[in-house]
Chain A
Amino acid sequence: MLDSIGVDAVADLFDIPADVRFDDEFGIEARTERETRRLVRSILGRNDELTELLGRGHYGYYIPSIVDHLADRSEFLTSYTQYQPEVSQGFLQALFEYQSLLVELTGLEIANCSMYDAATALGEAATLADRVRDTSGHRVLVPDLLLEGRRSTLENYVAGTELVVDAYPADDGIVDFDALETAVDDDVVMIYVENPTVRGTIEERLGAIGDLAADTDALFVLGSDPIALSVLQRPADVGADVVVGDASVLGLPTSYGMGLGLFACREDYLRQVPGRLVGASDDATERRAYTLTLQTREQHIRRERATSNICTNQAWVALRTAMHAASLGPSGMVDLANRGVRRAADLADRLDDLVGVKAPVHDRHHLREFVVRVDQPAEAIAADLETKGFAVHVVGDHLLQVCVAGVTDDRIDAVVDAFREVVR
């Protein structure tokens, strides 16, 4: 090979000036495959095995085996972005089906084929609001209970714009509508509401919020996820302009916060959508075929005038989400959501029977999680629960949050027993 190239040594191929050459070592030891697997297994073995009653934006739903087996087929796993659609029809079709799933769930006409996660999708929604609004407004309204990761990511996304982020309060776990109405004026370009809320409560006045947004020409952005959307009010029916959220509640197991940014919007914003879109077209044989489309919105064509800087996205997670949804089917999705309502209510009832515990704290309907008040300090209770093998959220001095999504029915008795012992 060197002869063909016409050099004596591989080193001759490197055109690196001596003053910036690296002649040292990283000091990283090489290992065999077996040793590497053992190393990682041994390090990760330091994680405690706990039953996680955790949610707040990241959920441990059971992922059917079919998802791993099919998504791990190596053509899915080892292909690149579909720049050559003729040889990538399978992935494009799967993403087209993913987009269709979100269109059905949201009632909005357009869904892209992924953002990174819920937080970045929210950030992208705000920059969309900035682009599509004609007025000089610059306020983005978000719940005061918005997860810190989402709030902070949003702040970074709008740092390059004139937008500022303001919070509106909650009333007994859902939007304080009167306070929101007072906060809204002509200066507001976007109202963000989550359903269910970060506390697991289900919003009761979405239609009125949609009207409020429409009256002031603010973009109504709704945060949700595919399981919740299977039964809760359809975003299009309450006037939502954009839906964001974490779609990986279907498709990904607990994975330390890795997600899949759901992004859907009304057709009016088609040319302003961030991220990739798969469209149907025809090939030279006049058969239907799929391709990435409307790419003039994207960074590799439009550069600094692109709708977003996103390039690599979460396509393979979107594939998994589509597979999980298909595996459940519509009845399975509705069942899963309804079980989340029933099981949360049942567990809350049982915890509420314990002395020194009130659950749920909010007198609302809940999906999969709820807030618990404990008479004793919440931190101490959480620590005691952890020693018994259970992880819960601490959300206030005397407030815990508990989620049933990743807990099997046969563990619920043990959860109640553990609570009973630690609140004693």
Chain B
Amino acid sequence: MTGEDADKHRGDASNKQVHYDQARYVDNGQYEPLLSEKDRTTVDVGDDSPLPDDLTRDSIELPELSEPELVRHYTRLSQMIYGIDSGPYPLGSCTMKYNPKFTEDVAALPAGAVHPDRSERSIQGTLAVLYRLQDYLGRIGGMDAVTLQPPAGAAGEFVGIRVAAAYHEHNGEHHRDEVIVPESAHGTNFATAALGGYDVVSLPSDDEGRVDLDALEAALSENTAALMLTNPNTLGLFERDIAEIAEMVHDVGGLLYYDGANLNALLGRARPGDMGFDVMHYNVHKTFATPHGGGGPGAGPVGVVDELAPFLPAPRVRESQRADGDQKGREQTYELFDPDHTIGKVHGYQGNWLVLLKTFAYIARLGDDGLTDASAKAVLNANYLASQIEYEVPYEPFHHEFVASAGDQDAADVAKRMLDYGVHPPTTKWPEIVPEALMTEPTEVESKSTLDRLAAAFNAVAGEEDETLADAPTRTTARRIDQTSAARNPRLSWHALDEE
């Protein structure tokens, strides 16, 4: 099909549904050109350099454009992106909730823009925010000590695994070389355990979609370093046997790790620390609404029980001891300290400060009631949406997310077609326990009318022919993109395009 045909095709879809026509600039038969197609200027470096020739490069070739040209380029690019501000975004396990605007203003405060090598006495404000956030997160997760250093959830997992390794080594238990991960877990769990040098033992689910206790019994041994678990799991089901699971893991001397990806379901209703988890990470770009920025930055703070606190990354923040005779009412001061048996660092400095600042502001704004209300509405919305769609949902009772099955349809095609109805589709084809999975998490932020529109999109697609689905999307900037040729003939820069 040519580009012109495609543009005509846009008018074909039914007028009964909400539709979403995404911006599409076409220039000389192509979409918005690359910066490099607008200009390339070569600058000779040696000519004007204060450095000797043998220490410099010869030249550099990059676009040299005026500010208005750049503004238009990036404005157009932004219009070719669907964000949570464009419409609902029910990606399962990703918790794409609305990102409050005021947190951006908070993160832009000039007083927060300090260098990490500043003296502690000169950045008491920054340390106070970090201390308070450690404290908030500890309360929310039921954990005794928190590090804010991990720059993302997977980095938090890595801290958890390194802390577990350090703890076992400290106890002389060098033989523990296995980490158990449920088959339905996030891919990062497996990859993190492997990065930590562990053998990964995969754990099947039982018929109801939860941890199979017999299989767990068989998997546990004196070699078990940890079990990594998400609760509610990726099907949205609460692991009802969690207390028993914790006991089983602890009985063999292993640690229980909580993957915080689904914490939004439990805010104010259950805490990993109370369930017997020893270590957990928080995904602040999920649970605490920091914007995901097209892939990041996030932050993945880690909470642990007292016994593991000495192994956390360095430094952490604590209240300074008040010297005797300090005046009452003097402002509390804060200091950095290295835990006694610290694993060291997992980031060059202290992680993604600007993201942590937004997290702090979000939690301080919501407070107890707001946080508890978030989990209530998240679970209500998921259950309501599931009740309104025609696709079957095989596993329940689910909480903040559910996994529907596209049945005879291809879940990936369903997703592409949903784009034409003005909504972002769910996560597809995962977890594999549900055939043609549509993993759906509307979050607490959507109103009933938005959920109804979402359901209408699901149901419209459910009634459509396979050919229609295979041809979708039609209303997005680009039509269906050829993934195979992208991987078979990788072109990863404009330099690679030049070579054609």
Complex: A258 Cα to B270 Cα, angstroms:
32
The 6 closest A-B pairs by CB, nearest first: A257-B349, A160-B197, A316-B293, A30-B367, A315-B295, A90-B77
Which residues of chain B are within 8 angstroms of A319 by Cβ–Cβ distance? 293-294
Contact of B71 among A6, A66, A231, A232 (CB under 8 A): A66
Partner of B50, one of A26, A79, A338: A338
Contact A15 B154 (CB under 8 A): no
Q: Indicate which residue in B119, B195, B293 contacts A315 across the interface (CB closer than 8 Å).
A: B293
What CA separation (Å) do A4 and B102 show in the bound complex? 35
Known: A86-B419, A88-B82, A309-B191. A66 touches B70 (CB 8 A): yes
For A317, give the chain B residue with the smallest CB separation: B297
Q: Are A81 and B294 in contact (CB under 8 A)?
A: yes
Q: Which residue of A lies closest to B200 (CB)?
A: A304
Q: Mark A35-59, 1 if CB is under 8 A from B, else 0.
A: 0110111011111111010101110
Q: Which residues of chain A are within 8 angstroms of B424 by Cβ–Cβ distance?
A: 84, 87
In whole angstroms, what is the CA distance A94 to B269 when docked? 41
Cα of A24 to Cα of B416 in the assembled complex, Å? 44
Contact partner, A365, options B55, B153, B297, B496, Cβ 8 Å: B55
CB pair A44–B79 under 8 Å, yes or no, is: no
Stretch at the interface among A98-106, A137-145, A180-188, A213-221: A98-106
A89 and B487 alpha carbons, distance in the complex (Å): 17
- Taking CB atoms and an 8 Å cut-off, the chain B residues in 17-51 that contact chain A are 22, 26, 29-32, 34-36, 41-43, 45, 48-51
Among A75, A259, A291, A308, contact of B79 (Cβ-Cβ < 8 Å): A75
Q: In the complex, A234 Cα to B142 Cα: how many Å?
A: 51
* Stretch of B214-222, B318-326, B339-347 lying at the A interface: B339-347
- List the A side residues contacting B349 at CB < 8 Å: 57-58, 117, 149, 256-259
Is A89 in contact with B81, judged by CB distance below 8 angstroms? yes
Task: State whether A29 and B367 are in contact (beta carbons under 8 Å apart), knowing that A79-B82, A256-B353 are contacts in the complex.
Answer: yes
B71 touches A111 (CB 8 A): no
Interface pair A153/B347, CB less than 8 Å apart: yes
B60–A333 CB distance below 8 A:
yes
A272 at the binding interface (Cβ < 8 Å)? no
Range for the number of chain B residues in contact with chain A: 35 or more
Note all chain A residues with C-beta closer than 8 A to B162: 156, 159
B84 near A79 (CB under 8 angstroms)? yes
* Given pairs A100-B494, A330-B42, 9 additional interface contacts (CB within 8 A): A16-B266, A21-B270, A44-B112, A90-B80, A111-B493, A159-B196, A295-B487, A316-B295, A330-B61
In the assembled complex, the Cα of A377 lies from the Cα of B136 at a distance in Å of 40
Chain A 194-242 residues near chain B, CB threshold 8 A: 202, 204, 229-234, 237
Give the shortest distance, in Å, between A291 (CB) and chain B (any CB).
5
**Cα A246 to Cα B140 with chains together (Å):** 33
Q: How far is the CB of B268 from chain A (nearest CB, A)?
A: 7
Contact call A48/B123, Cβ cutoff below 8 A: yes
**Which of B139, B425, B486 counts the most chain A CB atoms within 10 A?**
B486
Q: Which B-chain residue is minimally distant from A335 (CB atoms)?
A: B48
Q: Tell me which residues across on chain A come within 8 A of B274, comparing CB atoms.
A: 20, 22
Contact residues in B for A13 (Cβ distance below 8 Å): 379-380, 383, 397, 399
**Complex contacts, B123 vs chain A, CB 8 Å:** 47-48
Contact stretch, chosen from B237-245, B249-257, B302-310, B458-466:
B237-245
Binary flags per residue of A64-103, CB closer than 8 Å to B gives 1, else 0: 0010101011111111111111111111011111011101
What residues on B are CB-neighbors of A253 within 8 Å?
113
Tell me which residues from 346 to 370 in chain B have a Cβ below 8 Å from any Cβ of chain A: 346-355, 357, 360-361, 363-370
- How many A residues touch B, CB cutoff 8 Å? 179
Hey, which chain A residues are within 8 Å of B296, CB to CB?
114, 312-317
* B78 engages A90 (CB within 8 Å): yes
By CB atoms of chain B within 10 A, which of A31, A159, A305 has the most?
A159
Q: Is B327 in the interface zone, CB < 8 Å from A?
A: no
Contacts of B416 in A (CB 8 A): 84, 86
A113 near B348 with CB under 8 A, answer no
Contacts of A325 in B (CB 8 A): 62
Whole-angstrom CA separation of A277 from B397 in the bound complex = 38
List residues of chain A with CB within 8 A of the CB of B54.
Answer: 204
**Would you call A20 and B115 a contact (CB within 8 A)?**
no
B55 and A156 contacting across the interface, CB-CB below 8 Å: no
A28 cross-chain contacts in B, Cβ below 8 A = 136, 139-140, 363-364, 366-368, 371
B191/A76 in contact, CB under 8 A: no
Across the interface, which residues of A come within 8 angstroms of B105, CB to CB?
37
- A residues in contact with B483, CB < 8 Å: 281, 291, 293
Please tell me which one of the listed residues B35, B55, B86 contacts residue A204 in the complex, with CB atoms under 8 A apart. B55
> What separation, in Å, do the CA atoms of A343 and B293 have in the docked complex?
35
**Nearest A residue to B377, CB-CB:** A10
Given contacts A153-B346, A155-B344, A285-B2, contact A391 B292 (CB under 8 A): no
Within 8 A of A (CB), among B407-423: 415-416, 419
Report if B468 contacts A (CB, 8 A).
Answer: no
Determine if B457 is an interface residue (Cβ-Cβ < 8 Å).
no
CB of A173 within 8 Å of the partner chain: no
Q: Which residues of A contact B370 (CB under 8 A)?
A: 30
Residues of A within 8 A of B48 (CB): 334, 338
Write out the residue numbers on chain B whose beta carbons fall within 8 Å of the beta carbon of A290: 481
B478 x A283 contact (CB < 8 A):
yes
Q: How far is the CB of A65 from chain B (nearest CB, A)?
A: 10
A259 closest partner in B (C-beta): B348
1/0 contact string of A326-347 vs chain B (CB within 8 Å): 1101110110001001100100
Taking a contact as CB atoms under 8 Å apart, the answer to whether B240 and A100 are in contact is no
Task: Identify the interface centre among B84, B126, B188, B384: most chain A CB within 10 Å of its CB.
Answer: B188
Flag whether B285 is at the interface (Cβ < 8 A): yes
A254 to B112 alpha-carbon distance, docked (Å)? 9
